[in-house]
A and B are shown apart, each in its own frame.
Chain A
């Protein structure tokens, strides 16, 4: 008979019994989790990236040397992109009919601006929270920063003269989304309509201006358009995506992906454990049957094919179920996400279901198949001698299961380091748990031997644990690992997210004070400390250009942005510092010693080293205010951009830049109550400007919110997978328990004794695995937080006590529920089975 037909007949005749049902459910959960990740998180990722687009008010910014040619614009629009052009230039703002003038930084935008994010303006002079608006100023109007009003002695509704035009100031500009990293030292902003620019006659051929084209569209469209177009860019033209523009946001997105991958992965591994347990149970049940079929003349090959077919049949059912579950769930969740976060998610494609399908196949092949494959080796002699004839070796399981987990982790995360951590952690936990379980049983055995455990139900329960040490230990390892990953995930979800939020929120400054003159230093510091109770560090800042690398001139219009990029084109902020800031860390080389002061040395950020392709000992040439000099790289630093403090790519030792024009910069956290004091400071020193970086903070917060939601969603599947492990564990011992209970009842044990015995047993397993899981999870979380996510992590013993109690309680409860039928079943029925 055909093996497929035989497999189908056997399945159909036996029906879906408990263990097979669990197998299907476990496959379904794993596939659903994977599907949810590849559907939902892909969409959230795209949406988050779009959120990140606020950093450059678009998905992609194209820098040009002149206005955008009409045919290029048409090509962009034809490719499905939205386009908005901006032009930035320095100019002088004039008070019409008055004598006040001020250097301003003009940005002229089209009405479609901003393509991502919002402009914040205020139509009243004092209100500092403002209103968000999705477009730039209309023709004839300008929005200006407070400083423009102060320096020109103007009010809202007044007119501002720019070149040959006069434009009406209709609102005060509080924030614009793409006020990029080059903001330091800028003159105050005037935002105007691009259509008004020609009339001002300010832009003549050859005037210095920055021409940008903002682009937005579906992620795929943007990506493929960029890939196509970037190689064809002309000299001096370059492209930049949101993530490249905002390192802090990029890091947030990166972490988000790690969280999501981790949660999904853990759900899949948990389901894998459940699958292995049920497959083991299934295989065990099959040994006698296989021996019988062999005695009737079936070969191993036939049996192997039959078992494979059965796995394929059950697996397909689970996979189809999981795919539909994942699809439905992500659709529902996307709806919620869209409403809660006003986050328009891009559509999901059925095509992105294939990773989930593959996941299903991999866990079936990795966790279930080796056990079933071993079952076909059951010796036919079992028909005569029963289990005395021996069980097939199931050791084959471990390498295959481990390999498939490695494959899954590596593939899902694409991150070898993470893969190693997850695996190492898992393996180490399993070993530790096994050893601890054996030790625990030894100890229990001693207690029982010394008659320290009272006779009765409790003692029965304890001896039940001792009666099957192998199985008890396996249960403890399985529960322990299951709980450990659940706990780890819970930590990741709450604790790490919280400490991440804290690391951004609490001390993060929200205001920069820039352009402080050297002779104002003392007064400003005194004012801050006396009036505002702040004593921030102040840093010197010198504007300069990078011109040479190891004595060779750097081309100042790099086409290839990977390398020197805009470091070459823009003026840079140079600084000198004696002490290493605490959000900086030296990666290679040495921070300046006292002897280094005054020497031609420079410490650079690691991204600069990478982009310029330079290292320790290389020299860089600079041009500051027309004077040139060289300095040798003496250290490379890692900067923690999350601190949101003023940071510098290039730092020199004190005493070296003394002769160059210097201004000072600092950052402080301003509470609403401090606004008045700050205004007074600005009025007293009009040259100082403040810069609100609330926008950046808000973006980070939003990303964190979205991440939490996505992680919580995937966490749901992880929880379900955990429950499955529990059920599988109970299922594996169910048969044996039925018999034992029947025998004990036949011997006169009352139901209450059986119940107490079972409770003692489950509580023992539950408590120990929860305790061990906690230890594992804590260690894992600390490693994760410190090594992978660069966060400080704090232990919270009380939460853990609660977790242990809860976990042990649930295991015991679930166990009692699981064997409810066992205790109720009449002894005769169990014995006949």
Chain B
């Protein structure tokens, strides 16, 4: 699996567009985009607020459906797939890191990490989750709940959750957007370090030029088009 997908592009998006309609007015968020991400590559998507970065990320990850065009994810076309099929495609292969962390407030740090391991049916979930938290420097906070952690710590838990399953693809939407400079530096260092170690393909949306500069390639989005 690893070998075959390394030669093909991890993501291919052809001519994709996204319209939303509320009532009678129809709004074009993305217009005729072509994006290709090679396996192992890291891609940054930058652009001003409201330019459609998150929308594009959601489409590339198969969280939403395109209005036009076609996307191939890990070698498979998303066309004709329903939500369940796309979820099955993601399972165990795709990780996420979000601006707002998205940790489950009822679960402890280690349980949050275990969630992704358990869902992809991997054995020794607790042990591997502990290891993942250790590798992001949170070995001593395993049983704390999200509200007892600072923003930077929460995002580390999210990173641990994303990398614990050793994903082929990692999507990150402004992973440092809610953090101060110092913390965001340490988070981005951690992100790229883990990315290198696991050889994961990375697609990251960011405002941060410096962070984008760490990526192999950078796409600039402006009003739903590539600039």
Contact = CB atoms under 8 A, between A and B. Distances in A.
Contacts, number: 79
B64 interface: yes
A833 B147 CA distance: 6
A72 interface: no
In the complex, which range does the number of interface residues on chain B fall in? 20 to 34
A536 to B, nearest CB: 76
B107 interface: yes
Given A383-B96, A384-B173, A296 B102 contact: no
A297 B85 CA distance: 9
Interface string B94-109: 1010101010111110
B1 interface: no
Most buried by A among B87, B96, B106: B87
B119 A293 contact: yes
B120 A297 contact: yes
Interface in B166-200: 173
B98 A383 contact: yes
Contacts of B222: none
Interface stretch (B40-48, B55-63, B206-214): B55-63
A6 B90 CA distance: 19
A737 to B, nearest CB: 17
A533 interface: no
B118 A297 contact: no
B84 A292 contact: no
B88 A6 contact: no
B92 A383 contact: no
A298 interface: yes
A19 to B, nearest CB: 11
B116 A296 contact: yes
A26 to B, nearest CB: 21
A381 B116 contact: no
Nearest to B148: A832
Given A297-B87, A385-B54, A14 B63 contact: no
Contacts of B118: 1, 6, 9
B87 A380 contact: yes
A384 B98 contact: yes
Contacts of A301: 84
B215 interface: no
Most buried by B among A298, A300, A384, A386: A384
Contact of B87 (A9, A298, A384): A298
B75 interface: no
Contact of A381 (B63, B84, B87, B88): B63
A295 B61 contact: yes
A581 interface: no
A294 interface: yes
Contacts of B87: 294, 297-300, 380
A289 interface: yes
A289 B98 contact: no
B121 A299 contact: no
A297 B96 contact: no
Given A13-B111, A300-B84, A295 B147 contact: no
Interface in A274-303: 288-289, 292-301
B115 interface: yes
A296 B84 contact: no
Interface string A338-364: 000000000000000000000000000
Interface string A371-389: 0000000011101111000
A15 interface: yes
B33 interface: no
Given A14-B106, A833-B147, A1 B173 contact: no
Contacts of B61: 295
Given A380-B63, A380-B87, A296 B107 contact: no
A184 to B, nearest CB: 76
Contacts of B173: 384
Contacts of A380: 63-64, 83, 87
B116 to A, nearest CB: 5
A17 interface: yes
B54 A1 contact: no
Contacts of A14: 106-107
B91 interface: yes
Contacts of B108: 13
Contacts of A17: 106
A304 B147 CA distance: 28
A14 B118 CA distance: 16
Interface in A774-833: 832-833
A386 to B, nearest CB: 8
Given A297-B88, A384-B58, A384-B63, A288 B102 contact: yes
B126 to A, nearest CB: 11
A297 B119 contact: yes
A23 to B, nearest CB: 15
B54 A297 contact: no
Contact of A385 (B58, B83, B94, B119): B58
A296 B98 contact: no
A289 B103 CA distance: 8
Contacts of A298: 87, 91, 119
A384 B54 contact: yes
B147 A383 contact: no
A640 to B, nearest CB: 62
A385 B105 CA distance: 18
A832 B64 contact: no
Contacts of B147: 832-833
Nearest to B64: A381
A293 B63 CA distance: 12
A676 B88 CA distance: 96
11 contacts: A296-B91, A297-B88, A297-B91, A297-B120, A298-B91, A381-B63, A383-B96, A384-B57, A384-B173, A385-B58, A832-B147
Which 10 A-B residue pairs are closest in the complex by CB-CB distance? A297-B91, A14-B106, A299-B84, A297-B90, A380-B63, A1-B118, A381-B63, A381-B64, A384-B54, A296-B116
Given A296-B96, A296-B115, A385-B58, 6 more contacts: A13-B106, A293-B115, A380-B63, A380-B83, A383-B63, A386-B100
